[in-house]
Amino acid sequence: MRTAIEMRDVSRIYTVGDMTVKALDGISLEIEDTSFTAIMGPSGSGKSTLMSLIGCLDVPTSGTILIDGEDTSGMNEEELAYIRNRKIGFVFQHFSLLSKLNALDNAALPLLYAGVPQRERRERAEAMLERVGLKDRMMHRPSELSGGQKQRVAIARALVNNPSILLADEPTGALDSVTGHEVMDLFHALNEEGHTIVFVTHDASLASECKRIIPIKDGRIADDGT
């Protein structure tokens, strides 16, 4: 099995005024290609920090992160953006859709940043929205969609570049349990199609559907779960 994500002794220390917070404290882990992993842990344990680092939205204070075997330490902002755009899709708890854009334009946004021509943007975003079951909601703005539909637009947006890795930070946190399970079913289907999926959840029943659970506590892996 290939390794999609590898962290070696990764720490992230935040500094606020004269106070420092060790959000991650020497994390080492490997996540296999095409695997399905849940990250669990109490509030403030470092889960979102971990996801931001894997997603190349932030860089560690110390330690090394490899994405698809590629060492990201020492990469500049442009190189990190390239990895983000090519290999990683990110889904946030609160959807983070642009309220003035309809579902189609929201889903197509990463393609705009990647410089894909308009017609292809439209075709690929339509195909992705259809894939997540929103063919008949493409012209709706976020305010005209349900919570589960918004989250599916966010998933379509995360996948429109066909990244191998899908990261989701509490993707079901703002959803009721039925809608949460629908999102999970979609993740299972995407995992079957070969996407590596890592998601954060507080819901033990959702986590138990995954092949692997990584428990985080006080910025450390409580027990690797393998």
Residues that bind ligand ATP (CB under 6 A): 14, 16, 21, 23, 41, 43-49
Q: Does 45 bind Mg ion (CB under 5 A)?
A: no
Stretch that binds Mg ion, among 6-14, 15-23, 42-50, 64-72 (CB under 5 A): 42-50
Cβ neighbours around 20 below 10 Å, total: 11
- Smallest gap from residue 35 Cβ to ligand ATP (A): 21
Q: Does 201 bind Mg ion (CB under 5 A)?
A: no
Nearer to ligand ATP, 49 or 106 (CB): 49
Cβ neighbours around 118 below 10 Å, total: 10
- Pick what 16 binds: ligand ATP, Mg ion, none; C-beta below 5 to 8 Å, kind-dependent: ligand ATP
- Pick what 88 binds: ligand ATP, Mg ion, none; C-beta below 5 to 8 Å, kind-dependent: none
Structure-derived torsion over alpha carbons of residues 178, 179, 184, 189, reported in degrees to the nearest 10: 110
172: exposed, middle or buried (C-beta count within 10 Å: 0-12, 13-18, 19+)? Answer: buried
Nearer to ligand ATP, 49 or 151 (CB): 49
Half-sphere exposure of 109 (CA within 13 A, CB side): 18
- Would you say 208 and 37 are in contact if contact means Cβ atoms under 8 Å apart? no
Nearer to Mg ion, 48 or 191 (CB): 48
Q: Cα dist. 166→42, 185, 218 in Å?
A: 22, 14, 25
CA dist., res. 85 & res. 184, Å (int): 23
- Pick what 191 binds: ligand ATP, Mg ion, none; C-beta below 5 to 8 Å, kind-dependent: none
Q: Does 48 bind Mg ion (CB under 5 A)?
A: yes
- Smallest gap from residue 57 Cβ to Mg ion (A): 13
